[in-house]
Amino acid sequence: MAVIEPAVAAPAEGRGPLARALWYRQLERYPDTGPRVGYLAIVVVATVILYYQLYVAGAVAPQILAHYGMSFRFYVNITVVANAIGAFTSVMAGLADRWGRANMVAYGLGITGLLILFGIPNAPNSWSFAVIVVAVGFVEGIILVATPALVRDFSPQLGRASAMGFWTLGPVVGSLVVAEVASHTLSHLVAWQDQFIICGIVGLVVFVIALFGLRELSPRLRDQLMVSIRDRTLIEAKAKGVDIVESLKRPWRQVLRFDIIASAFAIAVFLIIYYTAVGFNVIYFETIFGFSASQANALGNWLWGFDALGLIAVGIVSDFLKVRKPLMVLGALGSIAMTIVYLRQATDPHTTYYTVALIFSLLAVFLAIAYAPWMASFTETVERRSPALTAHGLAVWGWILRAVVAVSIFVLPYVVSSVTPLVEHGALGVKAQKILKTDPNVAVVLAHPALFAKLAKYPPAKIPPPLLAQAIHTVGLKRLITISKDTKLKGEVAFFQKNATALKSVSAASKSAPGQWQNWYWVCVAGEAAFLPLILLMAGRWSPRKARRDAQEHDRLVEQELARLREGAAL
């Protein structure tokens, strides 16, 4: 029986300029600092735009529900299915170790840009909307793996945390862009479709940039372990003898190990608080605090802005100290503390806007302190098994992350059951509150329905004296006269009577919602706590002093091997 060898991306030599620009993107030499930073910048921008496309629906979720007459549970299930599909396409993206990464990213951006620009704004019904969102999730699962794989390829281990800090700006700045655009445009761009049109146009612009500007390392270069930029000469020399087919044999057997699986699960449950914020913060702030859509999105500016700054800063600090684990512990402990503060304060409807913003900002900083070093350490944990299988290791992470997100989003409406009536009938509740605030007569009539039902049977001049005396005794003569002259009262009372069941459910949900959200945030705390012990399984030192000593020893060994190669070349 013939042995089928793994497919390997073809080199670009001998191809025409257009083919090299559009498909054959491999670099046979490790790029200088300028081009390397340029490629990394394209990857980061592409990731930002992808997550902008993924999260834009959250900014206008209430409007989408109203437009399609969609139930909140149906909307949640769309997100669940999209994440589940993304989990399985993340596994498919493990093929990036064989077929390359750059084409997956570039053409994936083109597909999502078209779906966002033309598909969603023109979706005729809720099912069409759902199918398109799931299709975006399908592509996202692939790019989720391909982009950090590219970052790993272009960043040595000693600069990995800084590079991954910039990569993790993708979901964070994507969220920030959603919040910024929505908070500044929703007040005058009323149609929710406008948010997708803006997003789609930006996505296609970045697609063109990635199509012509993005490159990747050849397998012989990327399949080696690069600790520092000083390894460049050695890696290029050794690349001539790398057996790509051998390095890619039985890839899943090599990466499906407990340390990789447990580390991926750790960050997935740690980030439940993040995905809750992405998917439900606008709904949460509108239903609990009564903020407008613009105000709710503006709060996201605080969270994502501080998160972005934290990611960059902690990446630089981690690379300077040459350790990841102590920073992950600090970030996890701080996240636990701030989530507890948040669940105690932010579930109180009297908490002020700026109190929520401050809590959000501190929570974001601690999430960043944990996440950027984790991304660096995870790729190093995969490299500990096989540097050639980075995309396969990241595919394991992508699958587990999307699976945990899908399960948590599916469970959330059962824990926070009050969300459904508040979202579906919240507009009725707002109207009811407005009526009661502007016309106190309505509350009086609603408080005594039997009495006013009897009064309605008679003209004011012919009300029986005993009934009139009862009415005066119950509500007072002055109030009774005011009610008799209230021309809007009949219609307003009819509104309450017609929507009595819905308003009752809204009232009950409003009372139970803060406590239910508090229960959910305790689930988030549990996920953050589970992250801590699993840090022990990951690659890397705890001591900066020992990490520096390891780096010095590595440099010495590299110099020795380069010297041996030079001697062999001289002979």
Assigned domain for 116 exists: yes
Taking residues 443-460, what's their average pLDDT?
A: 84
- For residue 383, the model assigns a pLDDT of 80
Measured in residues, the chain has a length of: 571
Angle (nearest 5°) at CA 56 between 55 and 59: 105
Kindly list the distances between the CA atom of residue 112 and the CA atoms of 116, 126, 167, 179, 289, in Å, as whole numbers in the listed order. 6, 19, 19, 20, 34
Give the range among 7-21, 212-226, 253-267, 419-433 with minimum mean pLDDT: 7-21
Average pLDDT over residues 118-141: 90
Q: What was the pLDDT predicted at 369?
A: 93
Banded model confidence at residue 233, pLDDT cuts 50, 70, 90: very low
Tell me how far CA of residue 362 lies from CA of 282, 295, 344, 356, in angstroms. Answer: 19, 19, 15, 10
* pLDDT at residue 2 greater than cutoff 60: no
In a domain, 337, yes or no: yes
Distance of CA 483 to the CA centre of its chain: 52
Question: Which pLDDT band holds residue 157 (cuts at 50, 70, 90)?
Answer: low
Q: Which of 99, 149, 168 is nearest to 390 (CA)?
A: 149
State the burial class of residue 466 (Cβ atoms within 10 Å of its Cβ: 0-12, 13-18, 19+). Answer: exposed
Residue-wise pLDDT tens digits, 57-103? 878 887 888 788 888 788 888 888 888 888 777 776 655 556 667 88
Secondary structure of residue 187 in the 3-state scheme: coil
What is the predicted pLDDT for the residue at 130? 92
pLDDT of 249 above 70: no
The pLDDT assigned to 241 comes to: 47
List of residues 6+ apart from 268 with CB closer than 8 A: 400, 401, 403, 404, 405
Instruction: Give domain status of residue 545, yes or no.
Output: yes
Is residue 302 a contact partner of residue 355, using CB atoms and an 8 Å limit? no
Model confidence at 390: pLDDT above 70: yes
| Structure-token match 């959330």, residue found | 412
Q: Confidence band (pLDDT; 50, 70, 90) for 562? A: low
* Residue 158: per-residue pLDDT: 53
pLDDT above 90 covers a percentage of the chain that reads 18
Report pLDDT for 248.
55
The one-letter amino acid code at 315 reads G
Decide: 401 and 267 in contact? Cβ < 8 Å.
Answer: yes
pLDDT at position 120 is 92
Q: pLDDT-derived band of residue 152, with 50, 70 and 90 as boundaries? A: confident
Q: Which helix (H) or strand (E) holds 26?
A: strand 26-27
Is the pLDDT confidence value at 7 over 60?
A: no
pLDDT tops 70 at residue 519: yes
Q: What is the CATH number of the domain that holds 64?
A: 1.20.1250.20
Q: Please give the angle made by the CA atoms of 327, 338 and 292, to the nearest 5 degrees.
A: 125
Most confident range (mean pLDDT) of 6-10, 114-118, 135-139, 233-237 is 114-118
Task: Place 156 in a pLDDT band, splitting at 50, 70 and 90.
Answer: low
> What pLDDT is recorded for position 303?
79
Looking at the domain assignment, is residue 417 inside a domain?
yes
DSSP string for residues in 209-276: HHHHH--EE-HHHHTS---SGGGHHHHHHHGGG--HHHHTSSHHHHH--HHHHHHHHHHHHHTHHHHH
Q: pLDDT-derived band of residue 9, with 50, 70 and 90 as boundaries?
A: very low
**Per-residue pLDDT at 55 exceeds 50:** yes
Q: What integer best gives the mean pLDDT of the chain? A: 80
pLDDT at 267: 94
Question: How many domains does one find in the chain?
Answer: 1
pLDDT tens digits for range 345-384: 766 767 788 888 888 889 989 999 999 899 888 988 888 8
By CB neighbour count within 10 A (0-12 exposed, 13-18 middle, 19+ buried), where does 346 fall?
buried
- In terms of Cβ atoms closer than 10 Å to its own Cβ (0-12, 13-18, 19+), residue 453 is exposed
d(CA 393, CA 398): 9
Could you say which DSSP state residue 116 is in?
I
- Check pLDDT > 60 for residue 292: yes
Q: How confident is the model at residue 124 (pLDDT cuts 50, 70, 90)?
A: very high
- For residue 253, count CB atoms less than 10 angstroms from its CB and return exposed for 0-12, middle for 13-18, buried for 19 or more: exposed
As given in the structure block, the two tokens for residue 150 are: 């590219």
pLDDT band at residue 228, thresholds of 50, 70 and 90? very low
Structure tokens at 336: 């636990």
471's CB contacts (< 8 A; 6+ apart) are 451, 455, 463, 480
pLDDT value, residue 530 = 96
The residue-averaged pLDDT of 194-212 equals 92
Whether residue 9 is contained in a domain is answered as no
The tokens describing 237, both together, are 């020399």
Q: What is the predicted pLDDT for the residue at 13?
A: 54
The answer as to whether 353 is a domain residue is yes
**Alpha-carbon span 164 to 155, nearest angstrom:** 9
Query: Which stretches within 439-488 are classed as H helix?
Result: 440-447, 449-455, 465-475, 477-484
Orientation angle between helical segments 272-288 and 169-185, nearest 10 degrees: 20
Task: Give the pLDDT score at 399.
Answer: 87
Residue carrying the six token digits 């670099």: 27
**pLDDT for res 243:** 46
What's the pLDDT band for 326 if we cut at 50, 70, 90?
very high
Q: Which domain holds residue 234?
A: 17-427+509-562
End-to-end CA gap in the chain: 43
CA atoms of 206 and 106, how far apart (whole Å): 9
Answer whether residue 298 is part of any domain. Answer: yes
**β-strand 216-217 against 26-27: which pairing, if any?**
parallel
Q: How confident is residue 237, by pLDDT bands cut at 50, 70 and 90?
A: very low
pLDDT at position 409 is 85
Percent of the chain with pLDDT over 70: 83
Indicate if the alpha-carbon torsion angle 277, 280, 285, 288 is positive or negative. Answer: negative
